[in-house]
Amino acid sequence: MIHDFLPVSKKDMEKRGWKQCDFVYISGDAYVDHPSFGMAIITRTLEAFGYKVGVIAQPDWKDDRSIMQLGEPRLAFLVSAGNMDSMVNHYTVAGRKRKTDAYTPGGKTGKRPDYAVVVYCNLIRHVYKNTPILIGGIEASLRRMAHYDYWSDSIKRSVLLDSGADILMYGMGERAMIELAEALDAGIDVSDITYVKGTVYRTKKENVPDTALMLPSFSEISKSKREYAKSFYIQYCNTDPFTAEMLCEEYPNKVCVVQNPPAEPLTTRELDDVYSYGYMNTYHPSYEPLGGVKAIEEVKFSITGNRGCFGSCNFCALTFHQGRIVQARSHESIIAEAEKMTKAPDFKGYIHDIGGPTADFRFPACKKQNRFGACKDRLCLFPDMCKNVRTDHSDYVKLLKKVRSIPGVKKVFIRSGIRYDYAAADKDDAFLNELCKHHISGQLRVAPEHVSDSVLKYMGKPSHSTYEKFCRRFNKINERSKKKQYIVPYFMSSHPGSTLSDAVMLAEYIRDLGYMPEQVQDFYPTPSTISTCMYYTGLDPRTMEKVYVPKNPHEKAMQRALIQYRRPENYELVKEALIKCGRKDLIGFGKKCLIRPRK
């Protein structure tokens, strides 16, 4: 096997002696061959199974020739928008165009279209009428059924229909990809491949299996927000590979989109294999004159140690994409990757992260999940931690000790974040001692998101008292070790359920904290989260109770300004918010006041 980037041109194919690729992968991102990029994992997995794969990164969607540079693949085109939904990549929550794109050479914007999966598939179909098209990645995964689209403020059809693709792969796609590849290679027509877990296909109503659970139809959810909320929650409750049912969504003219149950999680050995493939661990050299690809900077010397998250925050799409069952790599696999890093010429001795969606999750929440899946009727950590959750950090502590003892490694940071409620529930201080002593540099970033318990309930986050309990423990450990280290909390404004009074409560907490957040995240309604469903419908899909949703841009600006009340440019917004909430007591010269009166 040649240790090099995969072909990006006919010339590259000739070097390998190829006349035709088996698969051509189209991506909205620049070509970065690193396992933090879904494109790299899928293409290298196919290569490991003996398939010839070429890459067309960021094709010009206005030019047919851009899709033809590797010729027609023998088996299929693979299409992804990239590591982010193309609309999130392009626009802020306020609808403003972003000024840079970290996934494009030189940070240049405009190198991928809006709704990239749909546009790329239509481009392919314009040139190659009959070649199978398989779509995947985060954009396809989270838009696999009808969904609320924030940017058009409308309900959009499944991206499978709008793209004209043949099959959609959702979640982490290695299992589905290889099963699809083998089926196509065996000569099975793509229209007959309807049985692969982790895939979505379209068919006529009369061909839908009797075992499928029928969702409210597209017509129904387009007319009724209550029906949309109902449909979404059925989907949410069917994201576990052990318990999920086949789902079906009907469209006009008796067209149906059928979602097979999710693919089973990879075993530790399989996950180790995925991360052992011959990645180049950087961007394609053709990007060097253009300024390189900035997205590699944070991940080049970071190690993915796990997948999946049983935290289940309502504003996070991980439940829909990676699922709630944690899968972890072995110590040996992670150590081998770390040792390889130390030999890189630009390695300075610092490993930026060993983590994943949540750094300190190293195994499923409880022992039953590997056999029976995650519970349908309750969450692991919310509203209270389930008594069956294993709060044990000993394996993670051993791993961190091993990695930092590798010659050439000066420090190992943990940047992907820990669950403070999970850490606080561990009766042993060993992990927090290790964390404070070796794995942070003055500051620990955590995400309580808010201080109002009523807002935290809608976020799916633990109560504020849980966060305070963790802070006390963290501070006590630092006092004991005579270290001056601080917790830096992340907060979110304008989440469903957050009133202006809740925002004032948060501002008062920040005042008492003596810390002014540099960054504030406005809630961003991205596809396929419970929070986005609440934003659109005004209903909590779990209970069907009404939820207050701050949608007015001016109110959202006030909520955001309150979190950064000391900034001069926020003065008028903060003053207006305080008066509106009947909190003029916070305008004055006292120690508890947020702002001073102006003449």
CATH of residue 56's domain is 3.40.50.2300
Q: Which residues contact 110 (CB under 8 A, 6 or more apart)?
A: none
Q: What are the tens digits of pLDDT across the range 395-433?
A: 999 999 999 999 999 999 998 889 999 999 999 999 999
List phi, psi (to 5°) of 491: -125, 155
The verdict on residue 347 lying in a domain is yes
**Greater pLDDT, 516 or 166:** 166
Quick one: DSSP state of residue 595?
A: B
What is the spatial distance between Cα 511 and Cα 525, in angstroms, rounded to a whole number?
Answer: 28
The verdict on residue 1 lying in a domain is no
The verdict on residue 575 lying in a domain is yes
Same domain, 428 and 505: no
Quick one: DSSP state of residue 7?
A: P
Cα–Cα distance list, 210 to 52, 104, 213, 247, 382 (Å):
38, 46, 8, 11, 35
Same domain, 488 and 517: yes
Q: Residue type for 121, please? A: C
Mean pLDDT of all residues in 580-591: 96
What token pair was written down for 279? 């990645």
Q: Which residues contact 363 (CB under 8 A, 6 or more apart)?
A: 326, 328, 390, 395
Q: What is the DSSP string of 545-565?
A: EE------HHHHHHHHHHHTT
Same domain, 188 and 311: no
Q: What are the tens digits of pLDDT across the range 53-62?
A: 999 999 999 9
> Would you state the pLDDT for residue 520?
84
Burial class from Cβ neighbours inside 10 Å (0-12, 13-18, 19+) for residue 132 reads buried
> Would you state the pLDDT for residue 416?
87
Q: Indicate if the pLDDT at residue 327 is higher than 80.
A: yes
- 305 near 334, Cβ under 8 Å? yes
Same domain, 48 and 152: yes
Instruction: Place 215 in a pLDDT band, splitting at 50, 70 and 90.
Output: very high
Instruction: Place 599 in a pLDDT band, splitting at 50, 70 and 90.
Output: confident
Instruction: Provide the CATH number for the domain around residue 372.
Output: 3.30.750.210
The verdict on residue 283 lying in a domain is no
Q: Which of 32, 99, 81, 110 is nearest to 294 (CA)?
A: 32
What is the spatial distance between Cα 378 and Cα 309, in angstroms, rounded to a whole number?
Answer: 15
Q: What are the tens digits of pLDDT across the range 330-359?
A: 999 999 999 999 999 999 999 999 999 999
> Would you state the pLDDT for residue 284?
98
Strands 154-156 and 147-149: antiparallel
- 591 near 512, Cβ under 8 Å? no
> Would you state the pLDDT for residue 442?
86
Q: Indicate if the pLDDT at residue 535 is higher than 70.
A: yes
What is the spatial distance between Cα 413 and Cα 403, in angstroms, rounded to a whole number?
Answer: 11
Q: What are the tens digits of pLDDT across the range 242-257?
A: 999 999 999 999 999 9
The verdict on residue 296 lying in a domain is no
> Would you state the pLDDT for residue 482?
86
What is the spatial distance between Cα 111 and Cα 102, in angstroms, rounded to a whole number?
Answer: 11
Of 441, 468, 495, the residue that ends a domain is 441
> Would you state the pLDDT for residue 1?
65
What is the spatial distance between Cα 207 and Cα 194, in angstroms, rounded to a whole number?
Answer: 11
> Would you state the pLDDT for residue 95?
94
Mean pLDDT of all residues in 287-302: 96
Q: Indicate if the pLDDT at residue 223 is higher than 90.
A: yes
Q: Indicate if the pLDDT at residue 568 is higher than 80.
A: yes
Q: Which residue has the tokens 């995964």?
A: 141
Q: What are the tens digits of pLDDT across the range 85-124?
A: 999 999 999 999 999 999 999 999 999 999 999 999 999 9
Cα–Cα distance list, 287 to 55, 292, 294 (Å):
14, 5, 11
Same domain, 396 and 525: no
What is the spatial distance between Cα 471 and Cα 597, in angstroms, rounded to a whole number?
Answer: 34
The verdict on residue 264 lying in a domain is no
Mean pLDDT check: name the lowest of 19-28, 138-147, 364-373.
Answer: 364-373
Residue 394's domain spans which residues?
Answer: 301-441
Reported pTM: 0.95
Same domain, 122 and 89: yes
The verdict on residue 518 lying in a domain is yes
> Would you state the pLDDT for residue 246?
98
Count of structural domains, the chain = 3
Instruction: Place 518 in a pLDDT band, splitting at 50, 70 and 90.
Output: confident
Helices (H), 71-192: 86-90, 116-127, 137-142, 159-163, 174-185
Q: Is 231 left (phi over 0), alpha (psi -120 to 50) or beta?
A: alpha
Mean pLDDT of all residues in 66-78: 97
- 409 near 351, Cβ under 8 Å? yes
What token pair was written down for 344? 């890189």
Instruction: Place 221 in a pLDDT band, splitting at 50, 70 and 90.
Output: very high
What is the spatial distance between Cα 179 and Cα 195, in angstroms, rounded to a whole number?
Answer: 10
Instruction: Provide the CATH number for the domain around residue 548.
Output: 3.30.750.200
Cα–Cα distance list, 499 to 56, 454, 456, 582 (Å):
47, 10, 12, 13
Neighbours of 441 (CB within 10 A): 9
> Would you state the pLDDT for residue 587?
96
What is the number of residues in the chain? Answer: 599
Of 391, 407, 441, the residue that ends a domain is 441
Same domain, 429 and 494: no
Same domain, 435 and 448: no
Same domain, 584 and 477: yes
- 140 near 169, Cβ under 8 Å? yes
Average pLDDT over the chain reads: 96
Instruction: Place 376 in a pLDDT band, splitting at 50, 70 and 90.
Output: confident
Q: What are the tens digits of pLDDT across the range 93-103?
A: 999 999 999 99
Mean pLDDT of all residues in 436-454: 93
Mean pLDDT of all residues in 199-226: 97
List phi, psi (to 5°) of 94: -80, 0
Instruction: Place 515 in a pLDDT band, splitting at 50, 70 and 90.
Output: confident
Same domain, 479 and 564: yes
Same domain, 430 and 448: no
Same domain, 498 and 376: no
Instruction: Place 514 in a pLDDT band, splitting at 50, 70 and 90.
Output: confident
> Would you state the pLDDT for residue 451?
96
The verdict on residue 278 lying in a domain is no
Of 221, 236, 257, the residue that ends a domain is 257
- Omega cis (within 30) before 345: no
